[in-house]
Amino acid sequence: MSHHRPIYLDCHATTPLDQRVLTAMLPYFTEHFGNPASATHQYGWEAEAAVQRSRQILAEAIHATPEEIVFTSGATEANNLAIKGIAESYFAQGRHLITLQTEHNAVLDPCRYLQSLGFEVTYLPVQPDGLLDLDMLEKAIRPDTILVSVMAANNEIGVLQPLAAIGEICHRHQVLFHTDAAQAIGKIPLDVTAMQIDLMSLTAHKVYGPKGIGALYVRRNHPRVQLAPQLHGGGHERGMRSGTLYTPQIVGFAEAVKLGLWEMDTETQRLVELRDRLWQQLNCLPGIHLNGHPSQRLPGNLNVSIEQVEGQALALGLQPLAAVSSGSACTSAKIQPSHVLTALGRSPNLSYASLRFGIGRLNTVEEIDRIAAGAIATIECLRQSRR
């Protein structure tokens, strides 16, 4: 990247495509362009073989079987397929779902939609560190509960929920467990067997893969999950998700996850060191607060709230130096504080004046030091101007 572009520190929004992933994808745009569903000639067979290899890689990454991987356009579609698909299939057994107040909108909005159809949804609060209270979850489960949906890693504060403990509770009560693992795949170990997960949403573009491709893991036994399709058509993906498979994206998705797993241990250690280095420097400022659990979080995530500054001014003040995300979700007309930070108990002012740093594969120690110095200078400058 050229030096005059801002340093990219927004890896929870998206990540750059890894060059090695691009190399794996290229032949499937041009030379091996066949439709994986074309069963009568070599072009189709080549594409189908590539898709099957990719399915195998993704399944092994989460300790599933290849048949349990259903390709989608991303995690948003996977979440919609999981939540609406379960609601539609199991509504005779019950119409109650449980999720967290801190979930991504791609989980919260399908839940609100189901409420408009007559389902009941319990939105559990989280503790001040962002973690779910397991006793509260257990108490919220009712005889008519059909699904619990809890994300693996939070997209704003990076907090890692205790998936295995949640899976155990759900299994014991014979309730299906869905997790949105968009931010987790390729960054933390995931095991659908050990964690007793029934449905898991994945995406490629948070792990240095291409945008526009994701998957839903759907458990095939103990229990066999029934899922109503949300896209009907040619019956692709065992009838759960029709549409011609996007072979280059699928190949890229698998390659990105494979690289993430290969490099996970060394990269985790490197990112934690960079993150802690950034926090140690920023923490010299008075009136700065860490959002979310200090250690049980994604290695590259740092989310802070800063007293006595205006949030948008802060993000804009940092803009020439760094691309970071501020804690206010700017919808078309009105700016609202982050629902995640609100759920942690942060005041609206502190929610607005927050920064999310998403540190990634391309960031260096030198960049972290520059960001820290720049952020401190910007904050001090903004505080001066308010006096």
Question: Which residues are known to be catalytic?
Answer: 330
Q: Cα-atom radius of gyration of the chain, to the nearest Å?
A: 21
Q: Measured between alpha carbons, how far is 155 from 39 in angstroms, rounded to an integer?
A: 40
Q: Measured between alpha carbons, how far is 96 from 124 in angstroms, rounded to an integer?
A: 13
Is it true that the peptide bond before 162 is cis, omega within 30 degrees of 0? no
Q: Measured between alpha carbons, how far is 285 from 249 in angstroms, rounded to an integer?
A: 44
Separation in Å, CA 111 to CA 76, 98, 123, 231, 343 = 13, 9, 9, 18, 17
Q: Amino acid letter at 322?
A: A
Q: For the purposes of burial, counting CB atoms within 10 Å of the CB of 201, is it exposed (0-12), middle (13-18) or buried (19 or more)? A: buried
HSE, side-chain direction, 13 A CA sphere, residue 342: 12
Q: Which residues contact 205 (CB under 8 A, 6 or more apart)?
A: 14, 15, 74, 211, 212, 213
Q: How many residues does the chain have?
A: 387
Q: Amino acid letter at 348?
A: P
Q: Measured between alpha carbons, how far is 245 from 252 in angstroms, rounded to an integer?
A: 13
- Residues 13, 357 contacting (CB under 8 angstroms): no
